[in-house]
Amino acid sequence: MSDFQFYGAGFPYRTIEELPGKLIVLEGSDGVGRSTQTQLLRRWLEDEGFAVSDTGLRRSEMTQQGLEEAKKGHTLSRITMSLFYATDFADRLENQIIPALQAGFVVLSDRYFYSIMARDIVRGADPAWARQLYGFALKPDLVLYLKAEVSDLVTRLIHGRGLNYWEAGMDLRPSDNLFDSFLDYQARLIEQFDQLSQEYGFVSIDAGRPVMHVFEELQDQIRELLEDQQPIFEEDFH
Amino acid sequence: MLRKNDSPGKLIVVEGIDGSGKSTQIDLLYKWLQSQGHSVYFSEWNSSTLVKSTTKRAKKRKLFTPTTFSLLQCTDFADRWENQILPLLKAGVIVLADRYAFTAFGRDVARGVDRQWVRNLYSFAMQPDIALYFRVPLEIAVTRITSARASLKYYEAGMDLNLSESRIESFELFQERILNEYDRMVDEFNLTVIDGTFTVQAQQRLVREIAKQELEGWVGLPIPEGSPHILLQSEIQ
């Protein structure tokens, strides 16, 4: 990302000269297979000789513990939750992602602020407020949006780690049971993702197919990005 | 611009740099309003129990950047806003706040975040009915703080900005930047300036006059007969 950009003011107090690495984001619903794909991609990229750093939501040293605790209680209100997650995201961006990019790593981010924003908006956040809030965020080189039907998600989750309270949006009580709530909530999230996809230019990938098919398509996209960014090497040989 | 207070309650906030005397003044106002028979609630900056452990941890380990500092303090404010300040304003209570969004606009911008960005952050909050800004010259504030305290804390002194090796000098430079931001906000947010070099009593007389004017003809949430006047934080949560 030689000519990196922020969505808004970025970090005005920080001088960033160069970010030779690449920021690749995997977005998509809960249970769509993001973490499986992240693992596969990491292994593949490392085989190809790239230094890879992966990161996800709620993994910041600063907020992880506090956020977990807050989510157990009943007083975490909407704006407070948005801001708590934004703090976590900013901490990871400044202290993990940007340093890794400065060091020339390929950063694979399992979700980015788009996921947080989609959840916030479904919970009633003002979309304009949320967009300005993430004005500090760096524009990724590539956003791969794993898109699947709610029915695919259900199948995977029930045969996998199960349905959970937050992924079913139970704090919003869309329905009296976890299953119907999940369907309702995830459908609303997908609607938001689709809008964000248009606005922020995600590359949409059909995630309803077998894992290896999805993986191959992701590889194609990433190969294109990494080739495109390394013209210097080829010229050296001419 | 912050949106107008459309609730039946009244919001009164005090602002100023450390050592400006604002906390003394709001404490006196709080007691006076109670003695006048009003339902009053007091909220302090950075006091949310939900966020406390995270702030403590980040301060101790020096994990903050200007952006995360700003975001976490706004998280703290949002928690108090959603769970205490706003519900009580809707109920018709007088809410007093020792520091408000303007503190963030001053400190965070002094730390280097974008002015418009931090204003958007707090745009869910309402413009106070009274926003008192206690203005004191830098030297007076610094003398008050350094003589009352054994040492200045790292973030309090703005040591994260690398302005100076000396805590006192760093504190001075940091507070000076904040003063400049406050001065810009006087017109922008219609802050009422109180000269913080006046005696405590003289300042309090002014504060009460301003409050009295604002509350004239206003009827808030009544206090049930025989109940204590104080709304405790634990009763609300």
Give, as one character, the DSSP assignment of residue A40: H
Distance CA B36, CA B32 (A): 6
The b-or-e profile of B125-156 (16+ CB within 10 A means b, else e) is bbbbbbbbbbbbebeebbebbbeeeeebeebb
When pLDDT is averaged across residues B32-48 and rounded to a whole number, the result is: 95
User: Choosing among B64, B77, B117, B119, which should be mutated to test the A contact, i.e. which has the most A CBs within 10 A?
Assistant: B117
Residues of A in contact with B57 (CB under 8 A): 62, 65-66
Per-residue model confidence (pLDDT) at position A198: 96
Per-residue model confidence (pLDDT) at position A67: 85
- The nearest CA of chain B is from the CA of A222 a distance in Å of 31
Residues 6+ apart with CB under 8 A from A122: A169, A172, A185, A188, A189, A192
Of A9, A13, A61, the CB nearest to B63: A61
pLDDT means over runs of 10, chain A (238 residues): 88 93 94 92 94 82 85 84 95 95 95 95 95 97 94 84 86 86 93 95 96 97 82 44
Residue B231: what residue type?
A: L
Residues of A in contact with B123 (CB under 8 A): 129
Each residue's pLDDT tens digit, B69-84: 999 999 999 999 999 9
Instruction: Return the structure tokens found at B55.
Output: 């702030």
Distance CA B107, CA B91 (A): 31
* Residue of chain A whose Cα is closest to the Cα of B53: A66
CATH of B11-213, one of 3.40.50.300, 3.40.640.10, 3.30.930.10, 3.90.199.10: 3.40.50.300
Which domains, from first to last, does chain A contain? 22-209 (3.40.50.300)
Per-residue model confidence (pLDDT) at position A2: 64
Do B53 and A66 count as a contact with CB atoms less than 8 A apart? yes
Each residue's pLDDT tens digit, B98-147: 999 999 999 999 999 999 999 999 999 999 999 999 999 999 998 988 88
- The nearest CA of chain A is from the CA of B157 a distance in Å of 18
Of B67, B81, B82, the CB nearest to A94: B67
Residues 6+ apart with CB under 8 A from B129: B5, B10, B11, B12, B214
pTM, rounded to two decimals: 0.91
- The nearest CA of chain B is from the CA of A187 a distance in Å of 27
Do A79 and B124 count as a contact with CB atoms less than 8 A apart? yes
Residue B235 — very low, low, confident or very high, per pLDDT cuts 50/70/90?
very low
- The nearest CA of chain B is from the CA of A47 a distance in Å of 34
* Three-state DSSP string of A59-78: CCCCCHHHHHHHHHCCCCCH
Per-residue model confidence (pLDDT) at position B117: 98
Q: What number is the ipTM of this complex?
A: 0.89
Per-residue model confidence (pLDDT) at position A233: 44
**What are the two backbone dihedrals, phi and then psi, of residue A67, each rounded to the nearest 5 degrees?**
-70, -40
User: Are B84 and B235 contacting, i.e. CB atoms less than 8 angstroms apart?
Assistant: no
